[in-house]
Chain A
């Protein structure tokens, strides 16, 4: 019952705010202001209630172990393809609920201040709440298709929010890109669902999980090839996860998604939606556990993304893009944790990351707000005294991100790296090394961001500088709440999530086969492994200090010296250009070619148009014979009679 209320409150808020959008169309200034305020109060209020209920559920389900599923009503039923709208709540869901509802509530409140000057406040609040509802539907799904519903639903909300400022062509392009690239991932997800259904004859999660052990050696013929069934299913599903979580290859939409308002970036493109892929892998752990190949792929993809995105993050100049690539990289960590069967470590990092990354984004938003919508770090600098609270909060976020104790990221990142090391497998080692390198770069770009934004001499113009101001309370308070998370979310739940209380806490929500010992062994790694993240973190911070505080003349020299590498990184490994050449342009060109050449020239040309013109030509020739002169006709008749007579003679006569 509680979960039903929790899930549907945001939908109610969204609908109410949606009605207000239309109510405020022709409203005068005063009335419009009232409606704006009403929409903010309603959506924020409902979200805060949801967040409180999430805490209640966490205690009830997570700590007291009352996992349950509430069936609402039948959704689709066709033969054995049967599923219901249902709310499944177990420990995994309850943890996700905490992250989603808390961050969402904070972002809602923050938006009251951030979107203050925007003319379409109710619409923004409507979309935010809609997103939250869809995300909750995703995490409470008890079958794959409802998960897909939430999956595409958050995609829709993301599309609407990225394109929120619809007058900007770049925002529209980014919105479409996000939706379409995600669809590519969803294509894999959908095929994975179908394959699951063919193998298990159900898409109900618990039923599948029960029958996986019996099918662990099953063979499934897909595309004419016999695959190990669990491997192909998990890989197809993972393609979906890669799309939503912006993993290498399908990541191109995420940086562009920064076109959306900053609260959106914090909520959707950092803390919640993009972690859906990680959630999916953890949720389906009873399936992934039975395919070592799939797990290895997850590990490699995650580790590669972690390092790949971190390299790009080091050279970006847009403050939001740096954090976006950082998100991409951190998602990689979560994936390779799952890949070495340390699902709970992945979810642990997901949670801590949710808090400190939302904090960083909202802090960046506060900076952007202060700098009159400037996002380029090259035009910032030296403003820390003017916005000290934001500055301090950004430090907390960065410390957590870089994994400095006792901040949250320290605990979660450490256990992730240790688990990778302790997996004692080739891919595990790869993930550990890549993760460690990425940790170095993470510390570097985080402090590069801090130094470029807040320190040194200011590169902003006079007018902007004069306007720099600390954000209002309504924006700072959510930041404080998130900062609390960034500080405490690591140490406090450590033993529950990945320590001694682990087995009891997660219960049936996550499956780890006995021979997958990475997480257990993670607690017994050599000291060097244990401290290495800290060491590389310190090196990263130190390097950033040298390059951006001590000797700010060096970075341009490096860039000039290694022009090729620099350009390669600055242009994000040329993925966009490649995809543009490989897919986007050809699709349009082929489309045009098929239209003009295929439909126009070939089909119509040989078909109706061809036939009709042939008929016309024939008719013209025939009509040319009709001259109107009597003797022509007489002559023709004569020939005819002659022909007839001769025919008669020859056939009958002989």
Chain B
């Protein structure tokens, strides 16, 4: 392996872009704006290319953390700057580096005010997101996990729609409330284990009654991020008000924080508590799947509909995670990755027509296929991926989660699978109202099909969606060993406390 602090470079390279944008000075605001765009695109693309090193050098045969860096930071408290990726986190880093340049491109023409600040916010956001997935120290993790909120809050609050302030505050309050509790749990962890090293904490055996409280505190934070029912209502508002790129990052990466948190903290560090609370997770997830799918059916706003469908899809993730089966957990990770690509793409799809007509109301559209065939095809592919059609990325995650769920509890699998029927209904209904039918609306008569920039945005996402559906091994191979390791870890610990029987294994 190359002797590079790769993760540190990936994490902080966007900040170099921020510096570069900051020193842009010119009298003409147009020049400043276009320079800011170029720098942001250049830097984020560079980060993506660099992250390909992870793809090619990652050792898929070990569960150990790779590209590990560790420097003492606050020695008195045992806190160190500690980074590393394993099979669970590595692809999330790549998802982030992939989506950021796409976000910059997607904002190319739709953001005209405060472009400089906008690009800075996105680059800072990228730093925090990558840092979050790489952090192996509790303290470092917490900083990144929380810090993400700031640029996101600003992106929605400044460049958002009419009710942006309401949405931004809602996002902030919900997330903050969960985070405060998580902080308390982290302090408890530190108090018991006397370390902030995530790897050591995974091996630490917390007393069961303490675990339960800690689990609930972490749950408060992760459930908001996922989001799980009933703490999901911030998401539709945030999506509706956020600019397109904000929605892309929100759906593509931010929602994965919760699922990732469950996998990184709840399961390995609090296995007994996880087992204890599994019925709670199942119940909330099933309610989420069915409830939000039905709500999605009734939506009149495109973004809101996709936001609700996101909640339903994330319900599969939480179910899969807590089945404690290979298929369930790998499916959950896969579902997060494919949802990261597909829902991001769907928000971009909405963005395309929003940029032209400036409304998200479904009723304002209809018959677009007549003027926008390329758009109709793109939308169709992602709609089908969202529905979970075999051959697209959406299918693999869903089917693996359901296999795992069926092993663990047939009722859970059956209820979750009803979401697949409802998903088909609301997605096709949405598609029909926007794309099909007669083109009669006056302001749509001259609408233009996607331009080259837009095609460039969608091409990689289309490619990845199909790739993930036809040859998922490329992605699953990353996870196998790490997931197996995780399950072994949890089962060993459950066996020690004599709870393995309860888990039904």
A interface residue numbers (CB < 8 A to B): 21-22, 25, 73-81, 85, 145, 148-149, 152-153, 156, 159, 163, 166-167, 169, 172, 175-176, 179-180, 183-184, 186-187, 190-191, 194-195, 197-198, 221-224, 587-588, 590-592, 594-595, 598-599, 603-604, 607-608, 612
Residues of A within 8 Å of B389, CB to CB, are 152-153, 156
Instruction: Check if A145 sits within 8 Å of B390, measured CB to CB.
Output: yes
Instruction: Check if A81 sits within 8 Å of B295, measured CB to CB.
Output: no
Q: What is the distance, in angstroms, from A441's C-beta to the closest C-beta of chain B?
A: 33
Residues of B within 8 Å of A148, CB to CB, are 390
- Confirm or deny: B414 has a beta carbon within 8 angstroms of a beta carbon on chain A: yes
Write the B405-439 contact mask toward A (1 if CB under 8 angstroms, else 0). 01100110110011011101100110010011110
- Confirm or deny: B188 has a beta carbon within 8 angstroms of a beta carbon on chain A: no
Q: Name the residue on A nearest B370 (C-beta).
A: A167
Given A77-B473, A78-B326, A598-B291; A197-B234 close (CB under 8 Å): no
CB-contact partner of B418 in A25, A152, A166, A187, under 8 A: A187
Residues of B within 8 Å of A153, CB to CB, are 389-391
Instruction: Check if A22 sits within 8 Å of B374, measured CB to CB.
Output: yes
List 4 additional A-B contacts (Cβ < 8 Å) besides A180-B425, A223-B410.
Answer: A156-B389, A194-B413, A222-B410, A608-B170
A194 CA / B367 CA spacing, docked (Å)? 39
Instruction: Check if A190 sits within 8 Å of B417, measured CB to CB.
Output: yes
A85 CA / B473 CA spacing, docked (Å)? 12
Residues of A within 8 Å of B396, CB to CB, are 76
CB-contact partner of B403 in A81, A169, A608, under 8 A: A81
Instruction: Check if A78 sits within 8 Å of B327, measured CB to CB.
Output: yes
CB-contact partner of B299 in A76, A77, A145, A595, under 8 A: A595
Given A81-B400, A187-B417, A190-B402; A587-B294 close (CB under 8 Å): yes
Q: What is the distance, in angstroms, from A136's C-beta to the closest C-beta of chain B?
A: 14
Q: Name the residue on A nearest B400 (C-beta).
A: A78
Residues of A within 8 Å of B476, CB to CB, are 76-78
Instruction: Check if A166 sits within 8 Å of B391, measured CB to CB.
Output: no
Q: Name the residue on B nearest A611 (C-beta).
A: B173
Instruction: Check if A176 sits within 8 Å of B429, measured CB to CB.
Output: yes
Residues of A within 8 Å of B438, CB to CB, are 167
Residues of A within 8 Å of B410, CB to CB, are 191, 195, 221-224
List, sorted by A's number, 24 A–B pairs whose CB atoms are closer than 8 Å. Answer: A25-B373, A76-B399, A76-B400, A76-B473, A76-B476, A79-B327, A79-B330, A81-B400, A85-B470, A152-B390, A167-B436, A167-B438, A169-B437, A176-B428, A176-B429, A179-B424, A183-B420, A187-B421, A191-B417, A194-B403, A197-B403, A587-B422, A595-B299, A603-B233
- Confirm or deny: B73 has a beta carbon within 8 angstroms of a beta carbon on chain A: no
A217 CA / B473 CA spacing, docked (Å)? 36
**B window 326-378: CB within 8 A of A:** 326-327, 330-331, 367, 369, 373-374
Q: What is the distance, in angstroms, from B177's C-beta to the closest C-beta of chain A?
A: 9
Total A-B residue contacts, Cβ distance less than 8 Å: 148
B interface residue numbers (CB < 8 A to A): 169-170, 173-174, 230-231, 233-234, 236, 291, 294-299, 325-327, 330-331, 367, 369, 373-374, 384, 389-391, 396, 399-400, 402-403, 406-407, 410-411, 413-414, 417-418, 420-422, 424-425, 428-429, 432, 435-438, 470-473, 476, 480
Q: What is the distance, in angstroms, from A476's C-beta to the closest C-beta of chain B?
A: 33
Instruction: Check if A195 sits within 8 Å of B406, measured CB to CB.
Output: yes
Residues of B within 8 Å of A79, CB to CB, are 325-327, 330
Residues of B within 8 Å of A604, CB to CB, are 233
CB-contact partner of A599 in B174, B233, B331, under 8 A: B233
A76 CA / B396 CA spacing, docked (Å)? 7
Q: What is the distance, in angstroms, from B432's C-beta to the closest C-beta of chain A?
A: 5
Instruction: Check if B425 sits within 8 Å of A608, measured CB to CB.
Output: no
Instruction: Check if B399 sits within 8 Å of A595, measured CB to CB.
Output: no
Instruction: Check if B391 sits within 8 Å of A149, measured CB to CB.
Output: yes
A321 CA / B329 CA spacing, docked (Å)? 47
Q: Name the residue on B nearest A176 (C-beta).
A: B428
Residues of B within 8 Å of A195, CB to CB, are 406, 410
Instruction: Check if B295 sits within 8 Å of A176, measured CB to CB.
Output: no
A21 CA / B396 CA spacing, docked (Å)? 30
CB-contact partner of A172 in B421, B422, B424, B437, under 8 A: B437
Instruction: Check if B428 sits within 8 Å of A608, measured CB to CB.
Output: no
Interface centre among A76, A156, A159, A608 (most CB of B within 10 A): A76
A99 CA / B435 CA spacing, docked (Å)? 35
Instruction: Check if B297 sits within 8 Å of A587, measured CB to CB.
Output: yes
Residues of B within 8 Å of A603, CB to CB, are 230, 233
Instruction: Check if A75 sits within 8 Å of B233, measured CB to CB.
Output: no
A608 CA / B166 CA spacing, docked (Å)? 10
A445 CA / B473 CA spacing, docked (Å)? 53
Q: What is the distance, in angstroms, from B312's C-beta to the closest C-beta of chain A?
A: 12
Q: What is the distance, in angstroms, from A245's C-beta to the closest C-beta of chain B?
A: 18
Residues of A within 8 Å of B422, CB to CB, are 587
Residues of A within 8 Å of B231, CB to CB, are 607
Q: What is the distance, in angstroms, from B367's C-beta to the closest C-beta of chain A?
A: 7
Q: Name the residue on A nearest B432 (C-beta).
A: A172
Residues of A within 8 Å of B473, CB to CB, are 74-77
Q: Name the residue on B nearest A80 (C-beta).
A: B326
A22 CA / B375 CA spacing, docked (Å)? 11
Instruction: Check if B418 sits within 8 Å of A594, measured CB to CB.
Output: no
Residues of B within 8 Å of A588, CB to CB, are 297-298
A612 CA / B169 CA spacing, docked (Å)? 10
Given A166-B437, A223-B414; A183-B424 close (CB under 8 Å): yes
A190 CA / B410 CA spacing, docked (Å)? 12
Interface centre among B230, B374, B411 (most CB of A within 10 A): B230
Residues of B within 8 Å of A85, CB to CB, are 470
Instruction: Check if A183 sits within 8 Å of B390, measured CB to CB.
Output: no
Instruction: Check if B424 sits within 8 Å of A180, measured CB to CB.
Output: yes
Residues of A within 8 Å of B384, CB to CB, are 156
Instruction: Check if B295 sits within 8 Å of A145, measured CB to CB.
Output: no
Residues of B within 8 Å of A149, CB to CB, are 390-391
Q: What is the distance, in angstroms, from B450's C-beta to the closest C-beta of chain A?
A: 12
A241 CA / B4 CA spacing, docked (Å)? 56
Q: What is the distance, in angstroms, from B331's C-beta to the closest C-beta of chain A?
A: 7
A145 CA / B470 CA spacing, docked (Å)? 12
Residues of B within 8 Å of A198, CB to CB, are 406-407
A79 CA / B486 CA spacing, docked (Å)? 14
A607 CA / B234 CA spacing, docked (Å)? 10
Residues of B within 8 Å of A599, CB to CB, are 233, 236, 295
Q: Name the residue on B nearest A599 (C-beta).
A: B233
A159 CA / B428 CA spacing, docked (Å)? 10
A221 CA / B408 CA spacing, docked (Å)? 11
Residues of B within 8 Å of A76, CB to CB, are 396, 399-400, 472-473, 476
Q: Name the residue on A nearest B413 (C-beta).
A: A194
CB-contact partner of A594 in B291, B425, B435, under 8 A: B291
